Amino acid sequence: MSKYVFITGGVVSSVGKGITAASIGTILKSRQITVSAQKLDPYLNVDPGTLSPYQHGEVFVTQDGAETDLDLGNYERFIDVNLTAESSVTSGQIYSAVLAKERRGDFLGGTIQVVPHVITEIKERFKQLAQKSQAEVVIIEVGGTVGDIEGQPFLEAIRQMRKDVGRDNVLYIHVTFLPYLTSTQEVKTKPTQHSVNELRRIGIQPDIIICRSDYPISEGIRDKISLFCDVDRQAVIALLTVSTIYEVPLVLEEAGLGQLIVDKLSLNAHQRDLSQWQELVRRLEAPREPIDIALVGKYVELKDSYFSVREALHHAALYHNRDINLLWIPSEALESDGGEALLRSAQGIIIPGGFGVRGIEGMINAATYARENEIPYLGLCLGMQVMVIEFARYVLGSTEPNSTEFDASTPYPVIDLLPEQHGVESKGGTMRLGNYPCQLVNGSHAASAYGQSLVYERHRHRFEFNNQFRAQLQEAGMVYSGVSPNGNLVEVCELANHPWMVSCQFHPEFGSRPNNPHPLFRDFIGVAKDVLREGAQPALPLSP
Ligand code: GLN
């Protein structure tokens, strides 16, 4: 039977609860304990698929096609597992399920209430993941902050779990923030005391408190939290801000958290081995020469919108022992005259996924710049559609080629709705989602990157390459280096007369791992690192 680690957050949001949950996965896995993870999101959307990136950051897609919170990406990268739809639970899903049961008549005669019906449904989701994953430990992160009205049912559900599955099988970890007062030069514990009080009020006594802080935490502060919050002294864990998120498992391990969890849950642990992770962090923290990569997107003001893309770039750079200097370029800035000056220092250009017409012309300009100046280009989903539009405009000598997403009446709809999307009215969960196979063409950049001929990649799109234009663009130098096994869908395309201009209709960023970069990102960075920036001097002596 699985044991459960429940993680709640206090004081403020955005203190790294997700990274902490993921890191707990890393340190348990380093002891050969099998782990799975689940995120509970209190909002009423069924999934974040319909949310603007400005509201929610990136939508992470699982292999089985669930649109989920970006924390699932952190769990996958830190625990090195592929999660499934069961790992993402929202209030919207819970209420939909309860109401569907009510309409079916499952509760005939009964009054449907938050307690017990909604709570029971939530607990079912915990048990479903435990059952499906067969993990020894299931880590469950409650989104939001203790005290939020929306979060109450989740907290009640995790409270009941201690009674349901037994005291020794459940652990509560509370992640808080200790603010620093400049005037008195001290970190303060009162907000933490209050949030623990709030937890206790609903019947949860945390076993461990993880204190995030930007400033060192003295022993006196630990004593105080231990006393007022009634947790063992060694269960008050300081987590200072670190330079890379990948350092968090090491900091927590150093503080004794791994052993503490093993003891408290009486887990069957092996000797821990974090050597690979330590090596990863050592290499990440060593100075490395940066590569300038321009990320041209719609939502660059909020970096979380491209969380997995940014991580995948860092993983790839590390592979080549280089660092990434990411130039965040709002695509609209490339729409005005002279905008391309922003790209001048870029050694590689990446255009990530996105929806809607805003900023598209700027992205197309970036693709023109990459093609004409032979700058390595990696297009992800929308980035592939942009590359196709740009190339078609060049080949046809017209500004009219477009995607019907942006211009429904274009005479050259080089990107058009997928056949199965015609007639789809509702927006939620109706895209082409999750893993689909892709057959690679020998001799292409894509095939050489992957080193295999059949791959499965995660999708999230409604539009696709329009086959009517396939032959014409091929003659002009576009190579369809990855296609669906029946040949109907273009999955990867690249340009023959370009050092490395490769795009894919899927999202490779979701599959990248810190110690195992995605092949397309790895090769993109591999080529970009040798591009000389404008004004940069080649290293001497020059090789012949
Ligand atoms: N908007 C495009 C489509 O729906 C691209 C989607 C994406 O980049 N994820 O096909």
DSSP string, 264-301: HTT---PPP--HHHHHHHHHHHS---EEEEEEEES-TT
C-alpha span between 367 and 349 (Å, rounded): 8
How far apart CA 521 and CA 15 sit, in angstroms, is: 29
Residues with Cβ within 6 A of ligand 1?
353-355, 381-382, 385, 405, 460-463
In angstroms, the Cα distances linking 208 to 171, 173, 257, 442, 522 are 8, 5, 9, 54, 39
User: Across the strands, what pairs with 9?
Assistant: 175
507 is catalytic: yes
Q: Look at residue 421 in the predicted model and tell me its pLDDT.
A: 81
Q: Using CA atoms, how far apart are residues 434 and 63, in angstroms rounded to an integer? A: 5
- 121, 136, 361, 509: the catalytic one is 509
Catalytic residue list contains 381: yes
Phi then psi dihedrals of residue 385, to 5 deg: -60, -40
Quote the CA–CA distance of 141 and 38 in Å, as a whole number: 6
3-state SS class at 468: helix
Pocket test residue of 355, 363, 403 for ligand 1, highest count of atoms within 8 A of CB:
355
Q: What is the distance between the alpha carbons of residues 520 and 166, in angstroms, rounded to a whole number?
A: 47
CA 335 to chain centroid, in Å, comes to: 29
Q: Which of 163, 125, 110, 135 is nearest to 29 (CA)?
A: 135
Residue nearest to atom 7 of ligand 1 (CA): 353
Provide the strand spans (E) within 66-156: 67-68, 88-90, 137-142
- The strands making up 413-417's β-sheet, listed across from edge to edge, are 402-403, 413-417, 463-465
Q: Give CA angle at 511 (508, 517), nearest 5°.
A: 90
Q: How many CA atoms lie within 13 A of 472 on its CB side?
A: 17
Per-residue model confidence (pLDDT) at position 544? 55
**How much is the pLDDT for 538?**
58
For the record, the structure tokens of 3 come out as: 């044991």
CB neighbour list of residue 482: distance below 8 Å, 6 or more residues apart: 438, 439, 440, 441, 444, 446, 455, 490, 491, 492, 493, 504
Question: Which is the catalytic residue, given 381, 438, 493, 504?
Answer: 381
Among protein residues, the one with the nearest Cα to ligand 1's atom 6 is 461
Phi, psi of 8 (to 5 degrees): -115, 165
Nearest residue (by CA) to ligand 1, atom 3, is 461
Token pair, residue 339, equals 């905008």
Please choose from 309, 414, 461 the residue to mutate so as to test ligand 1's pocket, defined by most ligand atoms within 8 A of CB.
461
Is the link from the previous residue into 541 a cis peptide, with omega within 30 of 0?
Answer: yes
Q: Is 509 a catalytic residue?
A: yes
**Nearest CA residue ID for atom 8, ligand 1:** 353
In 309-412, the DSSP E strands lie at 323-330, 348-351, 377-380, 402-403
End-to-end CA distance of the chain: 64
Atom in ligand 1 nearest the alpha carbon of residue 383? 8
User: Ligand 1: distance of its center to the CA of 72 in Å?
Assistant: 21
**pLDDT, tens digit, 9 for 90 and up, residues 342-390:** 999 999 999 999 999 999 999 999 999 999 999 999 999 999 999 999 9
* Res 433: pLDDT: 95
From 405, 407, 506, the mutation candidate for ligand 1 (largest count of ligand atoms within 8 A of CB) is 405
CA of 354 to the centre of ligand 1 (A): 6
Cα separation, 280 vs 276, in Å, equals 6
CA of 180 to the centre of ligand 1 (A): 43
Q: Is the peptide bond preceding residue 485 cis, with omega within 30 degrees of 0? A: no
Predicted TM-score (pTM) of this structure = 0.93
Going by C-alpha positions, the residue among 461, 458, 527, 468 that lies closest to residue 494 is 527
Residues in a beta bridge with 291:
324
Q: How far is the CA of 384 from the centre of ligand 1 (A)?
A: 9
Rounded distance from Cα 511 to ligand 1 centre (Å): 18
Ligand 1 centre distance from Cα of residue 464 (Å): 9
Average pLDDT per block of 10 residues along the chain, 544 residues long: 95 87 97 97 91 88 96 96 96 97 92 95 97 97 93 96 95 96 90 95 96 92 94 95 94 96 95 95 94 95 92 97 96 90 94 95 97 97 98 97 96 91 83 96 97 97 96 97 96 97 98 96 97 68 58
